[in-house]
Copies of this chain bind each other. A is one copy, B any other.
Amino acid sequence: MTRSEENYLKTIFHLGGGDAKSITTNAIAEQMETKPSSVTDMAKKLSEKGLVDYVRYQGVSLTDAGVKTALSIIRKHRLWEVFLVKKLDFTWDEVHEVAEQLEHIKSEKLIDKIDELLDFPKYDPHGDPIPTKDGKFQERDEKLLSEIPINSQGVCVGVKDSSVPFLKFLDKNKIALGNTIKVLDKEDFDNSLRIQMEGKEMRISHQIAANLYVKKNN
């Protein structure tokens, strides 16, 4: 399994190709910042290997073997992210790039030991669930902050957008996983929210609220 093959499988999974849904070569190319023709080539190769189902002009979806491989890479990625944050004091906007490299290290023992060192975490620093060794995947049932009603509150458990600018914004505004956030008011005009977090009141835009997952507790 080459690094490139692994990256394709991971991307297809993230685009939803694990649920037998067909993902277009264009969508994959865009996500990976490559050309559709390159995706076609790789689709054939992965199909040969039994990791994807590929029908010309229709797109690709992951086979069971493909899902399994994708999950093992995602598992490694997310465990390394936890390691970087918890053991090496990386901030959550710094971890992705390094984890993209570490996820390709081939050693089952290594990742199992990292898992153990971290005490078998269930979520990565962005709140995304970490698949288990046997590929079980705990889906997130949380809601976006923008979707919970006024006067309800929840604990911040993850982000939808994990781009560096967004994470830096959260850092700067002291919005962190684990914080309790209460929605005080919504502004009809621009859908911005007035919230209370850790005792302080603040106003955040709809764009922010639509990218923050919370677990409701009232």
Contact = CB atoms under 8 A, between A and B. Distances in A.
A114 interface: yes
A101 B107 contact: yes
A107 B102 CA distance: 11
A105 interface: yes
Nearest to A87: B117
Interface in A98-136: 98, 101-102, 105-107, 109-110, 113-114, 117
A90 B106 contact: no
A102 B114 CA distance: 14
Contacts of A209: none
Nearest to A101: B105
A90 B108 CA distance: 12
Nearest to A97: B107
A110 B87 contact: no
A105 B113 contact: no
A94 interface: yes
Contact of A88 (B98, B101, B106, B117): B117
Contacts of A110: 84, 88, 98
A89 interface: yes
Contacts of A107: 97-98, 101
A84 B110 CA distance: 8
Nearest to A113: B88
Interface string A72-105: 0000000000001001111000100110011001
Contacts of A88: 110, 113-114, 117
A84 B87 CA distance: 14
A117 B106 CA distance: 23
19 contacts: A84-B110, A87-B117, A88-B110, A88-B113, A88-B114, A88-B117, A89-B113, A90-B109, A90-B113, A94-B109, A97-B107, A98-B105, A98-B107, A98-B109, A98-B110, A101-B105, A101-B106, A101-B107, A102-B105
